[in-house]
Amino acid sequence: MSRKTKGYLLNTAVIAVALLIFFFYRNSMMEANNKNFRLSVIPSVWQCCYLIILSASLNLVLGFMGQLSIAQCGFMAIGAYTSALLSLAFERAGFYTDKSGFNFTVVLILSFLNAGLLSALVGLVVGIPALRLKGDYLAIITLGFGMIIVNLINNLPFAGQNGLEQGSASSSLYENGLGFSSKQQVAWVFLAILITLFAVTIMFMFIRSKYGRAIRAIRDDEIAAEACGINVSHYKVLTFVYSAFFAGIAGALFSCCNGSLSTGTFTFANNSILNSTFLVVMVVLGGMGSLTGSIVAAVLMFLLNRFIKEGEWLSSAPQFVQTIFGYPMLVYSIILVIVIVFRPKGIFGHNEFSLINLPADLKRIFSKKKGKEAGV
């Protein structure tokens, strides 16, 4: 058995065991009707899931291909609205009435798939002209795209404000369409986890394939890559579309668990931790070119946000700490500055966390601590 196969088997086994443990944990919590689990753990899992897909998919473009795109929330908006409107339309048509059975599963699959596909299609249309540009110019185009999408959705009569917020048939996504209520979120939590696992696995396979090696070559030296016979613009557009597809999937997950949709969530600079700039922060923090890094950074950022917002510890902290932590955005930027100064590569750098290499990695890190050389 090759080392690669062993690694895959080990990962699959560990994930399966973790899922099984979580399954029994959830069932026991459901039986006990645990308030903390329903109101705190499950919403966190859902939110982490879409943040993970988003930051990992952005990492494909930003970290592995080296192109600065800040349109990820725009693609997410497309996915969110597509899935929400599609599922609401099916519900109004009477295709399904409750959230179970064959019909609802079909609608779920259709919504998620269409969310991804439409985002990918828009990604293709945007990507073909945009990816001829480099660096700042690409950033500007993607920034404009994010704004255009939000305005388009606002002014679509069946989406935007008229459709979802004040429409006659459905006022909100809570329990309607593919939106889940708090209790349904507990029952359907494996939907989010499995979709995230699936998405991350596919992204891993992508970066380990010849495509992944090609886009890394493009990142390192575009001219050299072209000289080696890599079709640069083809690979660039392909990766962009690929990343947009998963952003769309993340959007569908977002509309599942958020109760209502408003385009304010997807604007370039809103007040929350979910916006295109913040996703870039997550990718940089986790390490550009490390999918596991993005996953860790997304979860870390989420937990940090919760920690600041909900911490009773704040009231017993010194006054100046309270003042700083009263402005969560300030804390995030301080952390980003610290990471950039002390570890410019991000938490993981180019490296991936891998179970099979874990003993060797740990050994290397600890031996380095004893004063051999700096850097990983």
Partner 1 sequence: MKRMIALLLALIMMCGIAGAFAEDTVKIGIIVPFTGTMSLYGECMFKGATMAVDEINANGGLLGKQVELIKYDNQNDETESRNGFNWLIKQDVELIIGPLSSGTTKAIVDMANDEEVVLLTCTATNDALDEEDNFVFRCCYKDSFQGTIGAAFCYLNGYKKVGAIYCAADTYSKGLYDSFAAGCEKYGIEIVETASTASFDSMDVTNQFTAMIEKGAELVYTPYYYNTIGPLVVPQARSAGYTGVILGADGFDGVPDYVVPGADLDIYNNVYWNNHFDPNADSEIVRSFVSRYQALYNNETPNALSVLPYDAVYMFATAINNAGAADAESVREAMSDTSAVYELVTGTFTLNEDGSPNKGATMFEFYHDTENDRVDFRAISVINELPEVK
Q: Rounded distance, CA 306 to CA 295, Å?
A: 17
Contact status: 271 vs partner 1 (CB under 8 A): yes
Residues contacting residue 19 through CB under 8 Å, at least 6 positions apart? 190, 193
Q: Is 181 in the site for partner 1 (CB under 8 A)?
A: yes
Q: CA 86, CA 63: separation in Å to the nearest integer?
A: 33
Percent of the chain that is helix, strand, coil (3-state, to 5): 75, 0, 25
CB of 15 to partner 1, least distance (A): 27
Sign of CA dihedral 108, 112, 115, 118: negative
DSSP 90: H
Question: Which of 55, 267, 276, 294 is in the footprint of partner 1 by CB under 8 A?
Answer: 267
Cβ closer to partner 1: 105 or 171?
Answer: 171
Query: Is 15 or 308 the residue whose CB approaches partner 1 more closely?
Result: 308
CB of 5 or CB of 316, closer to partner 1? 316
Q: Which of 222, 172, 258, 255 shows the shortest CA–CA distance to 67?
A: 222
Whichever of 41 and 133 has its CB closer to partner 1, that residue is 41
Nearest to partner 1 of 67, 267 (CB atom): 267
Give dist(CA 329, CA 273) in Å, integer: 8
Nearest approach, Cβ of 115 to partner 1 (angstroms)? Answer: 18
Give one DSSP letter per residue of 18-54, joined into a string: HHHHHHHHHHHHHHHT-HHIIIIIHHHHHHHHHHHHH
CA distance 46 to 192: 6
Which of 119, 265, 276, 294 touches partner 1 by CB under 8 A? 265
The helix/strand count (H/E) of the chain reads as: 17, 0
Binding residue for partner 1 (CB under 8 A) from 121, 144, 165, 324? Answer: 165
Q: Segment near partner 1 (CB under 8 A), from 34-42, 120-128, 195-203, 243-251?
A: 34-42
CA 111, 117, 121, 126 torsion-angle sign: positive
Q: Is residue 263 involved in binding partner 1 (CB under 8 A)?
A: yes
Return the number of the residue (190 or 325) whose C-beta is nearest partner 1.
Answer: 325
Sign of CA dihedral 276, 278, 280, 283: negative
Q: How many residues bind to partner 1 according to rule CB under 8 A?
A: 48
Q: Is residue 151 a contact residue for partner 1 (CB under 8 A)? A: yes
* Cβ closest to partner 1, residue 270 vs residue 357: 270
Q: Which of residues 286-345 bind partner 1 (CB under 8 A)?
A: 306, 309-313, 315-317, 326-329
For binding to partner 1 (CB under 8 A), which residues are involved? Answer: 35-36, 39-40, 43, 47, 147, 150-151, 154-155, 160-162, 165-166, 171-172, 174-175, 181-183, 258-260, 262-265, 267, 270-272, 274, 306, 309-313, 315-317, 326-329
